[in-house]
Every structure is written in C-alpha cells, then in structure tokens.
Structure 1
Amino acid sequence: MSETLNESATSLSPLEIKKVPEYHLKAAGFWTRFWAYLIDLVVISSFTALTIGPLFDLMGWDDARILYLSPYKFAAAILFYGYFVLMTKWRAQTLGKMVFGIKVVSDKGIPLTWGTILFREWIGRFISVKILILYIVAAFTPKHKAVHDYIADTAVVHEKSYEKVEKTIAIEQSAHTV
C-alpha cells in the first residue's frame, strides 16, 4: 500500500504558487452615489414640473398635490421609476451617474437584464425610498452596496477607475521544466 502511495506521489508535477494582479472596476463610494442621486432628483423634479404640472393645468385636471395617492403623484411616480428603469437599461447609468462617471453592473458579470433592472429599480428603490435609512447602508458595506444592490445582485462602479487585487494561483509545472 505504501509503495502505491509513493509511486503516485512521485508522479505528481510540482506546483508553483504565484501572485497575479487582477484589476476590477472600483466601487463607487457613498458620497459619489449620493451626489449622483441628488442630480437625478433635480432632473426628475424639473422634468415633472415642466411636463406633468402644465399637462394637468391644460387638461383642467385637479392635481391635488397634497393627497398621497393623487393622480399627479401617480404620474410623477411613473416618471420617477421610469427614468431610473429606462436609463439604467439603455445606458447602465442615469444622468447623475454620467456626471460622476459611475454605472450599474451585474455582480454576475453579465449584461443587465430587464428582470434585474426592474427588481433593482422598482422593488429595491421603492423599499429604499420608503425607509430612507436603507440608503445609508452603502456607506458601511465593503463595496458600498445599497440594499437594492444586494437585492438585485448589482453594484455601482466607476467607469474608468480600477483597483488592483492580488490573486494567488497554483501553476502546475511540467516534468521537463523541473
């Protein structure tokens, strides 16, 4: 039995352990994401005020902006969520993210799907908007991921900024190089 073990042990090729650099897109920090979101809110608020308000006035509809579930608020919510969904699907970034050079990517390394985006932007953002403290989670997580990023397996990263990560690999050497 020991002879068999020794024979198989001597037939193994030696392994060389190496550290190889890998470069990953750098995660966007909390403050970068915060300022990008504020720009998006200004864009959405301006667009809403310039389109929905005058439309309601022109049509003679009661905008009842005070009520929680008014037609005006419903139309504004459609614009709000539609903006984030469509911009993220078509460009992987909103106007605010474009200003700061950040974008949304899948954790799985695949293109963003409609399902991922709808889940991230509708469900995740709805939860985060209703419970504002959940946005702050991004300040304390290792890759600055917010709750809606965890829910949808996404991350927000810099477009052109990379971080170097050392990866340890084992390389099998052939018998003739030893």
Structure 2
Amino acid sequence: MNETMVGYANATPVSEQRYAGFWMRFWAYVIDIVVITSLNGILLSPFKFVNDGIAISVGIWTVTGIVSSIVYFAYFLLMTKFFGQTIGKMVLGIRVIREDEEPLRWSDLFFREVIGRFIYRVFNFLMILYIMVGFTNQKQGLHDMFANTRVVYDR
C-alpha cells in the first residue's frame, strides 16, 4: 500500500500541503493591486479626454468607478479560474485550491473572489478579518471558508 494512503481499503491519498500564511498572501495582494492599478490606468486614461475630463455619472456612480470595479473583480475571478493564481500569487509561488483538491469551479470562485471581496470592500471594518489567516490551522480567510478553498505553496 502506498505510504500516502491511510490504512483503509478505500482510503484516499492524504496530501501534504503547505498553507500560505498572512504575509505571503498580503504581499501577493499588494502585487495584484499594482497590476490592477496599471490596467485601470491604461483602460481609464481615454476618459480624461471625454467630457472635458469631468467624470461621467450613471446615477450615483461614475463610469470610471464602474469600469475600475469590473476590472478589479474580473481580474481576481478570471486569473484564479484559468491559472489557479493571480500574478501576485505566481510571483510568490502560491496558488488557490479547493478543499477536496478537485479543479476550481466557477461557483467556488464566485463566492471567494466576488462575494468575499465585495463584502470586505463594502464593509471596510471587516478587513480586520483578513488577520484570521494568521490564526487558523489551514490559513483560511473568511472568503476561503465561504468557498472551501485554501491557498497553498506551489509544488
């Protein structure tokens, strides 16, 4: 029997994952914010030449605010879905996985990257909950718990 198997006939392999802690994830996020800010700078610079540089409003929101929010959420959602990691995570050698190590699903990532991040952004005082990553056994934030995901070191 394989040494990664537990002593039962229909046992599943036990993976030995190293979970990424608070500081690795923090620095990955900082890198991602630099990337997103750069993307927004490229995408939003034409708006400076429209309407004499005055922000175009759609109800209570500005067009640039809407576009920058879409870029923010789409970046995290699409990068994590297609690569399992954002550019910041790639640089630091960490990735997002499901708890059961199956491929990431859109529903997992929607809860993790859109709902979780939306909650943190709307209720700024909840940002303090990111500190949970440093104190949970599997280094999970609240958004990881919503989606049953983990952030681990790449092998």
Could you say which TM-score interval applies, normalised by the shorter chain?
Answer: 0.7 to 0.9
Give distance in 1, aligned partners of 2:56 and 2:34. 21
Q: Output the TM-score relative to the length of structure 2.
A: 0.81
User: Superposed, which structure 2 residues align to 1:20-169 within 5 Å?
Assistant: 23-52=15-44, 54-60=45-51, 62-63=54-55, 69-129=61-121, 130=123, 131-160=126-155
For 1:140, the aligned partner's letter is F
Structure 1 range deviating more: 86-95 or 106-115: 106-115
Larger radius of gyration: 1
How far 1:23 moved relative to its partner? 4.4
Q: Output the TM-score relative to the length of structure 1.
A: 0.71
Give distance in 2, aligned partners of 1:23 and 1:83. 29
Q: Give per-residue Cα distances to partners, 1:20-51, cap 9 Å, x unaligned.
A: xx541200011000000000011101110121
Give distance in 2, aligned partners of 1:127 and 1:134. 11
Give distance in 2, aligned partners of 1:79 and 1:37. 15
Relative contact order higher in (CA < 8 Å, ≥ 6 apart): 1
Give distance in 2, aligned partners of 1:113 and 1:103. 15
Note the residue ranges of structure 2 that are not aligned, 5 or more in a row: 1-6, 8-13
Give distance in 2, aligned partners of 1:137 and 1:69. 32
Answer 1 or 2: which has greater strand percent.
1
Secondary structure of 1:24 counterpart? coil
Contact persistence 1:28–1:156 (CA under 8 A):
yes
Give distance in 2, aligned partners of 1:114 and 1:50. 28
* Cα RMSD (Å): 2.2
* Runs ≥4 residues deviating over 4 A: none
Identity %: 40
